[in-house]
Each structure stands twice: as structure tokens, then as C-alpha cells.
Amino acid sequence: MRVAFFDRDGTIIEDYPDHEWTGINHPEFIDDSINTLKEVIEKGYKIIIITNQYIINEGYITIGQYHDINNQFKSELTRQGIELLDVFYCPHGKDEGCTCIKPNIGMIKQAIHKYPEINLEESFMIGDSAVDVELAINMGIKSFGIGVGSNYKKENIYQLNTIKDLIPYI
Ligand SMILES: [Mg+2]
Ligand SMILES: [Zn+2]
């Protein structure tokens, strides 16, 4: 099984400074993200979301608020005909030393444990932060950084300006 591991905030929906998340009640989809997800699925990938949510344990949002926004996120995708395979999130604060906060590989390990048929060589990670690209490097998989900058000039790491630039690569 080929999997496209997607970051959520700043990649599919808008991201905000941590303190602004406190007042956010609805996800705001970024231009072209829905069409891109559709095309990724048409190319034979399953979609798994891998999202750092340290704003939970750091007190900016409640766990209930996280689930509320994520449920709205998934409902809108379903309405658009997009089924996610799964969503993995790390609720831990940056100082907790957990193994799941990106760029640690814990969430991808959880995904492989739950879906042993994942073929990592045919999979990739895409996100808008350095931690997304670093996670892919730590995991040894292909990655696409959106507006991350060119600090990562390595084989298997691609720089994109917007999410829809992904399509020619896959
Ligand atoms: Mg992000
Ligand atoms: Zn964690």
C-alpha cells in the first residue's frame, strides 16, 4: 500500500500562531488542497494525516476542541468524496520528550504498526514545516516541503511553492 503522509495545519487547512488557535472553531481549507488530495488518491495513494498538536498539552486548545475541528475537517473531506485512511496526532508539549512529536518518527511507526501493508519505499511525506521534511529524513522516505526553503538539498527531498505543485511529481 502506497501512503501519502500529509501534515494538516498549514498544508491542507490554515495554520495560526499558537495563541490564535484558542479562538478557532472551524477549519479553513487552503486553496487547491482538496483537489490535490483527490488527485493523490486517484494516483493510487491512501492518505494518512500526521499532525503535531502540542497546542493541546501546552494549553492553547482543549482535547475536545481538537476533536471538534478534526471532525469538521474529516466531514468536509467526506462531503468532497475524500476518505482519509487515518489521522495520527501528537498532543504532547514540546518539552515532554515524547517520541511522537515530529520530527520524531513515532506517528509513522504507529501507522506502520496499524497498517503493516504500508510500503514506505512507495510512500512520501508532505508538509509546510521543517519538522515534516526532517521526519521524512529520519524515516528515510521521500518528502515534499511546501515553502520550507532549500536548506534540505538532498536526494528524495523536493521543494514546492504550493500544494498543487505536488501533482507532477507523483
Ligand atoms: Mg504544518
Ligand atoms: Zn507526542
Any residues with CB less than 8 A from the CB of 64 and at least 6 apart, and which? none
Ligand 2 centroid–CA 91 distance in Å is 6
Whole-angstrom Cα distance, residue 73 to residue 58?
Answer: 22
Looking at residue 155, what is its pLDDT? Answer: 75
Looking at residue 153, what is its pLDDT? Answer: 65
Feature table: binding site for Zn(2+): 90, 92, 98, 100
Looking at residue 152, what is its pLDDT? Answer: 67
With cell 519538522, the residue in question is: 131
Q: Which residue among 9, 15, 32, 95 is the active-site one?
A: 9
- Return the domain boundaries, the chain: 2-169
Mean per-residue pLDDT pooled into runs of 10, the chain (170 residues): 98 98 97 97 98 98 98 98 98 98 98 98 96 95 88 80 94
Looking at residue 154, what is its pLDDT? Answer: 73
The CATH code of the domain at 2-169 is 3.40.50.1000
The 3-state secondary structure of 94-159, one letter per residue:
CCCCCCCCCCCCHHHHHHHHHCCCCCHHHCEEEECCHHHHHHHHHHCCEEEEECCCCCCCCCCEEE
